Amino acid sequence: MANQPPFDSYHSGRYMPGPGYAPPPMGFAPPSGAYIPGATAPPPERPPKEHCFYIKSKVGGLVMEVENAGVDPGTRVVMVPASDQGRDSELWFEDYQTGTIKSRLNLLCLDIQEEANQPHQVIKLPQSVPSNALCPTSVGGRTYYSAVANTEWGNIPGRAVAKQCWYSYGGAEYCTADFSWITAPNTKLVRNTGSPPAGSIGAGHQQDDGCTYYSAIARSQWGRIPGKAKGNTCWYAYNGSEHYTSDFDWIVIETDFVVVNSYVPGKQTQLWLRADDKIQNRQNGDKVMQVCSTTKGSRVLSTTTSSDAKQKWMFVPQSEITVARYFFIKSELHGKVLDVAGANKKPGTMAIMWPQHPTPTINQLWYLDDNGVIRSKLTDFCLQPSGHGIWLQPYSKQANQMWTPQGKKIVLRNNPDLCLDIRGGEKSNGAKLCQFKYKGSANQHWKFAYIN
């Protein structure tokens, strides 16, 4: 034991406090509220890379990173694709001496950001607009705010101005003076990808279905209109009718997000351990870490433990990470490649055919994720059929997003008779794509040209 190194040879990736300390058995995780104290602070040296691990989400496959390789306390933790170099900003180790999980980059530990965040409030004050009323939007020259109408059918989110609130129910638009404003600090809008993200404001509910309805902002032909949302749908009232759309933004409260900070002995928000496939607080076993979404750059937060897949992680040794290999998708018809039109990063951008650039550009590069689904290097979005062709959308596990290679074809995993097709065999630049029954023609055949 006298020659025990300060780090085990990993495979657990845990920091060991020094000579004389016996390493735990493989896969061991200390129980909640227990960590191994040491007589001195951890050494300032970074552990070897081979003793560190990636923290990889089981949903989407992104890994935790100290944002922009920041070295200052308070730097945010975000989700990114794993690099092939094993950047220090992506590597972590569990420090038993302090009971924390630390970044190899700066030896700062995971912590919860310290902000004066408050939960949302519903305020019965229709005579004037509160200073922190949610999400002002302009429709028809008037400014509206998110509110909750108090109705015979329940509390229904809608839009309000001055002494009136408009809401939708049963296909119609209604107006009432009996409503409450919704207020909250530090909110943001998150584009809908199929379900409410963590921090969404569940402000109302209807008696007919008993479901929670969230405050949301519909993206309509008339402008951005506050309404109610659940699942993949937002309903809103306008011009006497109830309308609905899947193109909307959730209103999300930014609270309890994960950052890295200098170690403070005994600070509960810094005491985390790996517990099976979760990151659990040592002193409050009900608190775990959860990724906000599967989008690159999304944040990580602390929340109550549940069965949500976004709370599940893999702790992958640095030597075992699978790094995405990027490729061009080249047509057998004319040699042009699949391209994200205009390198536009917005959801709904069309995929087109374009000559391959002499120097690789990320809007022409693609990769296979951990599920074998084709994703764009530009945005991590996936291919999805629309009424106008094939466009790029955030991955939400829909069956029509699961395009995968099969020989020369690119097919839908659950419906391999449908393949990716250059519409009409068009050979001009900018030609659009579609899904079509396989016929064996050149406009349905592809080659994957890897660059790494």
Question: Is the same domain home to 247 and 125?
Answer: yes
Q: What is the number of domains present in the chain?
A: 3
> Residue 24 falls within a domain, yes or no?
yes
List the structure tokens of 216.
Answer: 């949301």
- If we measure between CA atoms, which residue out of 296, 298, 295, 271 comes closest to residue 285? 271
pLDDT at res. 363 = 96
pLDDT at res. 123 = 52
pLDDT at res. 39 = 35
pLDDT at res. 423 = 95
pLDDT at res. 452 = 66
Question: Is the same domain home to 150 and 244?
Answer: yes
For 375-416, write each residue's pLDDT tens digit: 999 988 999 998 889 999 998 888 899 999 988 999 998 888
φ/ψ region of 13 (left if φ > 0, alpha if ψ in -120 to 50, else beta) reads left
The residue with tokens 């040879």 is: 9
281, 303, 320 - which closes a domain: 320
272, 299, 320 - which closes a domain: 320
Question: Is the same domain home to 148 and 262?
Answer: no
What does the CA dihedral 439, 444, 449, 450 come to, rounded to 10 degrees?
-90
> Residue 6 falls within a domain, yes or no?
no
4 class by beta-carbon count within 10 Å (0-12 exposed, 13-18 middle, 19+ buried): middle
State the Cα–Cα distance between residues 172 and 192, nearest whole angstrom: 24
Q: What's the gap between Cα 294 and its chain centre?
A: 3
> Residue 376 falls within a domain, yes or no?
yes
Question: Is the same domain home to 248 and 265?
Answer: no
Question: Is the same domain home to 139 and 220?
Answer: yes
For 278-291, write each residue's pLDDT tens digit: 999 988 888 999 99
> Residue 70 falls within a domain, yes or no?
yes
pTM of the model: 0.48
State the Cα–Cα distance between residues 17 and 95, nearest whole angstrom: 8
318 class by beta-carbon count within 10 Å (0-12 exposed, 13-18 middle, 19+ buried): buried
> Residue 334 falls within a domain, yes or no?
yes
CB count in 10 Å sphere of residue 165: 30
Question: Is the same domain home to 38 and 137?
Answer: no
> Residue 1 falls within a domain, yes or no?
no
Question: Is the same domain home to 86 and 150?
Answer: no
Question: Is the same domain home to 41 and 106?
Answer: yes
> Residue 9 falls within a domain, yes or no?
no
List the structure tokens of 236.
Answer: 């809103």
Evaluate whether 15 touches 7 at the Cβ level (below 8 Å). Answer: yes
pLDDT at res. 253 = 75
List the structure tokens of 180.
Answer: 């409450």
279, 303, 320 - which closes a domain: 320
List the structure tokens of 131.
Answer: 């200073």
The CATH number of whichever domain residue 446 belongs to comes to: 2.80.10.50
Question: Is the same domain home to 411 and 350?
Answer: yes
List the structure tokens of 223.
Answer: 């402008």
Beta carbons within 8 Å of 101's beta carbon, 6+ residues apart: 55, 92, 93, 94, 95, 109, 110, 272, 273, 274, 279
Evaluate whether 160 touches 147 at the Cβ level (below 8 Å). Answer: yes
Question: Is the same domain home to 168 and 228?
Answer: yes
- If we measure between CA atoms, which residue out of 220, 415, 380, 225 comes closest to residue 298? 380
- If we measure between CA atoms, which residue out of 232, 229, 214, 236 comes closest to residue 139? 236
Question: Is the same domain home to 312 and 335?
Answer: no
State the Cα–Cα distance between residues 253 and 78, nearest whole angstrom: 17
- If we measure between CA atoms, which residue out of 112, 104, 49, 447 comes closest to residue 281? 112
What string of H, E and C letters represents the secondary structure of the chain? CCCCCCECCCCCCEECCCCCCCCCCCCCCCCCCCCCCCCCCCCCCCCCHHHCEEEEECCCCCEEEEHHHCCCCCEEEEEECCCCCCCHHHCEEEECCCCEEEECCCCCEEEECCCCCCCCEEECCCCCCCCCECCCEEECCEEEEEEEEEECCEEEEEEEECCEEEEEECCEEEEECCEEEEECCCEEEEECCCCCCCCECEEEEECCCCCEEEEEEEEECCEEEEEEEECCEEEEEECCEEEEECCEEEEEECCCEEEEECCCCCCHHHCEEEECCEEEECCCCCEEEEECCCCCCCEEEEEECCCCHHHCEEEEEHHHCCCCCCEEEEECCCCCEEEEHHHCCCCCCEEEEECCCCCCCHHHCEEECCCCCEEECCCCCEEEEECCEEEEECCCCCHHHCEEEECCEEEECCEEEEEEEEHHHCCCCCCEEEEEECCCCHHHCEEEEECC
> Residue 40 falls within a domain, yes or no?
yes
- If we measure between CA atoms, which residue out of 113, 127, 48 comes closest to residue 78? 113
Tens digit of pLDDT per residue, the chain (452 long)? 333 333 333 333 333 433 333 344 444 444 333 444 443 444 446 788 878 899 999 888 899 999 999 999 999 999 998 876 678 999 999 887 788 999 999 999 999 985 444 455 555 554 566 655 666 777 777 888 888 999 999 999 999 887 889 999 999 999 999 998 887 655 677 889 888 887 788 878 888 888 889 989 999 999 999 999 999 999 999 999 999 999 999 888 766 889 999 999 989 999 998 888 999 998 888 899 999 877 888 889 888 888 888 899 999 887 766 566 789 999 999 999 999 999 999 999 999 999 999 999 999 999 887 678 899 999 889 999 988 899 999 988 888 999 999 889 999 988 888 999 999 999 999 999 999 999 999 999 999 998 86
List the structure tokens of 147.
Answer: 């509110």
CA dihedral sign of residues 430, 436, 440, 444: positive
CA dihedral sign of residues 131, 137, 141, 142: negative
Q: Which domain holds residue 271?
A: 14-112+256-320
